[in-house]
Amino acid sequence: MTNAGSGSPNRLLYSLLGSAPPPPTGCSLPETYSGSLSGAGDYDYQPNGNYFYTSNSGTHRGCLTGPSGTDFDLYLWKWNGSSWVTVAQGIGSSSTEDVSYSGTAGYYVWRIESYSGSGSYTFKMQRP
């Protein structure tokens, strides 16, 4: 199953199977990843635990959805030549975040972190 949207009769079944939740409404991005966080302070890097390089300037976008009742945050980091720095973040008080950043060529990585709660998440992204 690739999309169990909000109006879908499969949404309950999708949730009961323990799969990652569907992406935020209106988030239709080309790359989809999933993972799980064990509790507050746990984190993952995406895509697939790696950073990536883009030679293009343009918009990075990331959409995150975690389980209901959790607070998962989303950060976009860029390598500045000596360390990773946060260039964009979604740190609202829910498990759903949508982050956009207009950047230049370089190395980037998305960090997904649990502020509170645990469970599976879905992350979608778009590179410039």
pLDDT single digits (tens) 55-70 = 999 999 999 999 999 9
| 98: helix, strand or coil | strand
CATH number of the structural domain 20-126: 2.60.120.380
Return mean pLDDT, the chain: 85
pTM of the full structure: 0.79
**What does the pLDDT look like over 97-109, one tens digit per residue?**
999 999 999 999 9
> Which amino acid does the sequence have at 48?
N
Domain range list for the chain: 20-126
Pairing of strands 84-90, 71-79: antiparallel
CA distance 14 to 5: 10
Distance in angstroms (rounded) separating the CA atoms of residues 12 and 62: 25
CB within 8 Å of 37: residues ≥ 6 apart: 43, 44, 66, 72, 112, 113, 114, 117, 118, 119, 121
